[in-house]
């Protein structure tokens, strides 16, 4: 049944819109991340799917499937300790954005008005501001993934203790990602693309039709996989 859908999607998608393989690969990575509690904002996915960059069939199924993702992403807000970590993560990202903007402004001023500044008392003031601003910016962007890791682990613990609340949702996500991988394979064949040059990033490797070429490590959390062409 899925194969039939893929064929129809392939024909309809090619006739009506230009499918972007890179976008489709990134969508696969994004959705696969939901299976490991990596809940990212869906605005990007909404836009590219609405624009038809992943094909017409995906566009028609997205609205219903999106509800599953929303349910999964709502879990952290229902857990008080996870919710606190999530708020801290948002604050650190906000601080990082603010201070990175300050650094860019200082850098621009230094470049375009260096001689003028060097001859005034503001030279030392800029140095005193830029050093702590850079440290805060760097610390904020380092803290974001660390807090994300802590949130993911806390959710993992909750899911292990309450498998009935997440099991069905994760199965739905896996099936949809598998469909996208099969569709991606069909497009690679149709467009005569080299699969090795179109590798995808996955957090899980329990899908059909893929070959893992690079495993995840301690820092690198995703695997690199090549989609097989049948």
Residues 105 and 136 in one domain: yes
Looking at the structure, do residues 86 and 153 belong to the same domain, yes or no?
A: yes
Q: Are 86 and 138 in the same domain?
A: yes
Average pLDDT over every residue of 148-177: 83
3 state DSSP class of 201:
strand
Mean pLDDT for 108-136 is: 64
Mean pLDDT within 193-219: 92
Q: Is 49 exposed, middle or buried (0-12, 13-18, 19+ CB in 10 A)?
A: buried
* pLDDT per residue as tens digits for the range 87-102: 888 888 888 888 788 7
Distance CA 187, CA 11 (A): 10
Residues 168 and 66 in one domain: yes
Q: What pLDDT shows up at residue 111?
A: 66
Higher pLDDT among residues 228 and 156, named by residue: 228
Does residue 194 register a pLDDT over 90? yes
For the chain, what is the domain count? 2
Q: Considering only residues 120 and 74, tell me which one the structure prediction assigns the higher pLDDT.
A: 74
Domain termination site, one of 145, 160, 175: 160
pLDDT bin (cut points 50, 70, 90) of residue 116 is: low
Q: Where in the sequence is the domain holding 218, given as residue range(s)? A: 2-76+162-227
pLDDT band for position 138 (50/70/90)? confident
What's the confidence (pLDDT) of residue 14?
Answer: 46
What's the chain's average pLDDT? 82
Q: What is the pLDDT of residue 16?
A: 43
Percent of the chain with pLDDT over 70: 82
Residues 120 and 147 in one domain: yes
Query: Which pLDDT score, from 0 to 100, does residue 13 have?
Result: 45
Distance CA 174, CA 68 (A): 11
Are 121 and 191 contained in the same domain? Answer: no
Judge if 67 and 175 occupy the same domain: yes
Task: Choose the final residue of a domain: 160, 190, 217.
Answer: 160
For residues 3-28, average pLDDT: 69
Measured distance CA(181)–CA(21) in Å, rounded: 11
Q: Assess whether 166 and 143 both reside in one domain.
A: no
Q: Do 104 and 148 lie in a common domain?
A: yes
Q: Are residues 28 and 60 in the same domain?
A: yes
Torsion angle of C-alpha atoms 127, 130, 135, 138, degrees rounded to 10: -140
The rounded distance, in Å, linking the Cα atoms of 65 and 174 is 11
User: Does residue 11 have a pLDDT over 80?
Assistant: no
Give the tens place of pLDDT for each residue, 41-83: 899 999 999 999 999 889 999 999 999 999 888 876 677 777 7
Final residue before a domain boundary, out of 160, 179, 211: 160
Q: 99 with 30, same domain?
A: no
H-helix or E-strand spanning residue 224: strand 223-227
- Look at 94 and 5; give whichever has higher pLDDT: 94
Q: Are residues 43 and 88 in the same domain?
A: no
Look at 104 and 55; give whichever has higher pLDDT. 55
Q: How many CB atoms lie within 10 A of CB 41?
A: 9
Tokens 């229902």 found at = 78
């Amino acid at each position: 049944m899925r194969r039939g859908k893929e064929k129809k999607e392939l024909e309809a998608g090619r006739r009506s819109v230009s499918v972007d393989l890179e976008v489709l690969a990134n969508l696969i990575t994004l959705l696969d991340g939901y299976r490991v509690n990596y809940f990212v904002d869906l605005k990007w996915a909404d836009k590219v799917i609405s624009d038809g960059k992943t094909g017409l069939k995906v566009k028609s199924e997205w609205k219903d499937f999106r509800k599953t993702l929303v349910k999964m992403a709502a879990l952290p807000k229902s857990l008080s300790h996870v919710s606190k970590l999530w708020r801290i993560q948002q604050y650190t990202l906000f601080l990082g954005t603010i201070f990175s903007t300050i650094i860019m402004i200082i850098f621009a001023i230094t470049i375009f008005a260096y001689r003028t500044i060097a001859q005034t008392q503001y030279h030392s003031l800029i140095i005193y501001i830029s050093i702590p601003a850079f440290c805060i910016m760097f610390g904020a962007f380092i803290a974001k993934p660390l807090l994300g890791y802590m949130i993911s682990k806390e959710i993992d613990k909750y899911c292990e203790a309450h498998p009935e609340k997440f099991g069905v949702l994760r199965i739905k996500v896996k099936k949809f990602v598998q469909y996208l991988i099969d569709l991606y394979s069909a497009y690679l064949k149709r467009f005569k693309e080299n699969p090795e040059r179109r590798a995808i990033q996955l957090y899980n490797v329990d899908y059909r039709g893929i070959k893992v070429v690079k495993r995840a490590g301690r820092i690198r959390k995703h695997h690199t996989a090549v989609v097989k062409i049948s």
